[in-house]
Amino acid sequence: MKVAELLTRLKDADPDAVVLLLPRYADFKNTQELVDVVLIAKPWTCERHREADGSTTDVHHPASHGYSIGCNAETDESWTEQVVTLSSQSGSIEAKHSGVEKSASDTASLEDDIREQTCQVRRQMIAEGGLLPADEFCARLGISKKRFNHLLADGSVFGLDVDGTNYFPALLADPELDRERLQAICKIIASAPAGSRLDFLSTPHGALGANTPLQMLNDDRDCKRLREVAEAWAAQYSRTSVKMYEGEHETEPRGVVPLYAAAAEIDPRKPLWTRVSKALHEHGYEWPLGPYPVARVCTMFVEQQEAGYSEPRLEACVQIVANGGLIRVRIIHKGSAARQSQTVAAGKHRSVVDVAKKVVAYLRKR
């Protein structure tokens, strides 16, 4: 409702009448007296969410908050508009809004402080020789620029950004260390942020007997253990998740609870179906706990998400139709055309999870 329409409706109202607020779905005994009217200076965002059944729901919030959870940029609409808020508590809207704004500002300020402290530490490392410019790093390794670029591309070495320029850890060029083994470990942990990689290499770990990874390079048995620890450590920086929905879909259904969901922390460089298989078999995270239903037609969505607050990235959509003793599988990869349908023997087990495992086992062999 616009302000103009509200004023029109109130033009014949008794000026002494009390204005009551009736919350949605409440009965009359839940009405509350209107206490405050707030004219919001900054525009708010209105999102129109479209549900699977064709209905729509409007969600309003301050424009500075970004999109709400559940907003789908492909199907939903959004725009900005001026708003007036009515409240049953004096100053509640303004206080809440200013509190949220202050919280967001404080968070941004804290993040800025952390970044600045990190830069200060790295500047000090440059001054003390712990971080080297690219030319000096290459000279210490005794390699050409071409070889350096190759090592950088495959994760064998890595740099840290300091004021817009990459500098490289001097420990990666230490002649006292086994360079081949060190670069192999760097490749294993390449999926983690560069700063975290440097911390991993130079910090004692309980799983390594309180030794640093650098201290584990010379002995064959120690190095084998180091590789295992490095793989487990790097896996935490990426998660592959699987969701199963009843029916045949090309986009993930909104407002629908999946039949099954599972996830696993695993290196994103590993093959897609290897990662999916781990998510389905590891039982580290799965929901619900079962027993699982039988679904003749279902769709599996696979997403990969980096650590932190990054958005999940859709990797594949697998449409599955179980018919008699056979399972028809159609795969849609993100950004590519759908593959031709493939047929898999169903076997004896037919729950939605059993079928998913059967399909993924087949796809791993392709």
**Whether residues 87 and 148 fall in one domain:** no
pTM above 0.75, yes or no: no
356 with 267, same domain: the answer is yes
Q: Residue 291 has what DSSP assignment?
A: P
CA separation, residue 342 to residues 39, 247, 277, 327, 366 (Å) = 60, 18, 18, 8, 11
The reply to whether 119 falls in a domain is no
Residues 301 and 329 in one domain: yes
Give the end of a domain, one of 186, 220, 235.
Answer: 235
The identity of residue 48, as a single letter, is R
Cβ count within 10 A of residue 172: 23
Note whether residue 222 is domain-resident: yes
The domain boundary residue, chosen from 94, 118, 146: 94
Going residue by residue through the chain (366 aa), what tens digit of pLDDT does each one get?
888 888 888 888 888 888 888 776 556 666 788 888 888 878 888 888 877 667 788 888 887 666 676 677 667 788 888 888 887 766 544 445 554 445 555 555 666 777 788 888 899 999 999 999 999 999 999 999 999 999 999 999 999 999 899 999 999 999 999 999 999 999 999 988 899 999 999 999 988 999 999 999 999 999 999 999 999 898 888 889 999 999 999 899 888 889 999 998 888 888 999 999 999 998 778 888 878 888 889 999 999 988 765 688 899 999 999 887 788 999 987 655 556 677 777 666 678 898 899 999 989 887
User: Is 10 part of a structural domain of the chain?
Assistant: yes
Residue 111 lies in a domain: no
- Looking at the structure, tell me whether residues 257 and 246 fall in a common domain: yes
Let me know if residue 116 belongs to a domain. Answer: no
Query: Do 70 and 89 fall within a single domain?
Result: yes
- Does 295 share its domain with 224? no
The total number of structural domains that make up the chain: 3
Cis link prior to 312 (omega < 30° from 0)?
A: no
Residues 73 and 183 in one domain: no
- Establish if 112 belongs to a structural domain: no
- Tell me which residue range forms the domain holding 352: 238-365
Judge if 296 and 218 occupy the same domain.
no
Neighbours of 185 (CB within 10 A): 25
- Are residues 306 and 318 located together in one domain of the fold? yes
Longest dimension (CA), the chain: 90
Quick one: 256 and 358 in the same domain?
Answer: yes
Whether residue 110 is contained in a domain is answered as no
Which of 235, 251, 280 lies at the terminal end of a domain, its last residue?
Answer: 235
Could you tell me if residue 117 is inside a domain?
no
Same domain, yes or no: 172 and 282: no
- Domain check: are 63 and 141 in the same one? no
